[in-house]
Chains A and B, each alone.
Chain A
Amino acid sequence: GDSVTQMEGPVTLSEEAFLTINCTYTATGYPSLFWYVQYPGEGLQLLLKATKADDKGSNKGFEATYRKETTSFHLEKGSVQVSDSAVYFCALTEANQAGTALIFGKGTTLSVSS
């Protein structure tokens, strides 16, 4: 079945450092890909998404490019802030299938210190 694998954390960085969180997937069809963020004590928030190959999702300085050839959707940010400390989840869902749930990776905890 479909699955998502993301790098294990925790990831600890200093403010203004470059961030990469790797995410790869396996899917039988043509999935849509997502990054969600969960701040301490809160629910999941959609950070960015991409719906087809070579699409680049971006939001709040974060970017991820849908790479079909490498089945990857790595999350990057050029300069992290303390406020970016959170758990990041990579996820996929099969496009054009009504009622299909998201499949999540295990999450990567990011801690940014000043």
Chain B
Amino acid sequence: GAVVSQHPSRVICKSGTSVKIECRSLDFQATTMFWYRQFPKQSLMLMATSNEGSKATYEQGVEKDKFLINHASLTLSTLTVTSAHPEDSSFYICSARARGGGGSYNEQFFGPGTRLTVL
């Protein structure tokens, strides 16, 4: 089956530093990748949608200058949390949609998530 990896799985950083999270589709090409944020005991909130080779589309209320997304290839997207603060502490999850995966449904494959803790 389709596998999506994320790295790192956990990261702890000091306030003011930047953190990069990688999302990779291991055995398929992903034309579209999505970044979600999940607060404890809550649902996933879509942050942005990125298509390979173009700028990401951010959801309302998400600061694009703070959450930099790059989708440089069909197998890699990165999320950089710039100048992180404690309120950015969360569980970040990416998902990928396979290239040519149209048809009657639109399945996405999720990474295992990255736990970010900002001190």
A interface residues, Cβ below 8 angstroms from B: 32, 34, 36, 42-46, 49, 51-52, 89, 93-107, 109
Binds A, one of B14-22, B72-80, B82-90, B105-113: B105-113
A99 to chain B, nearest CB (A): 5
Within 8 A of A (CB), among B80-102: 93, 95, 97, 102
A45 to B43, CA, bound (A): 14
A46 to chain B, nearest CB (A): 7
| Contacts A99-B97, A106-B43, A107-B42 given; does A46 touch B107 at CB 8 Å | yes
Contact A42 B107 (CB under 8 A): no
B67 to chain A, nearest CB (A): 15
Contact B93 A104 (CB under 8 A): no
| Contacts A43-B113, A101-B46, A104-B43 given; does A49 touch B106 at CB 8 Å | no
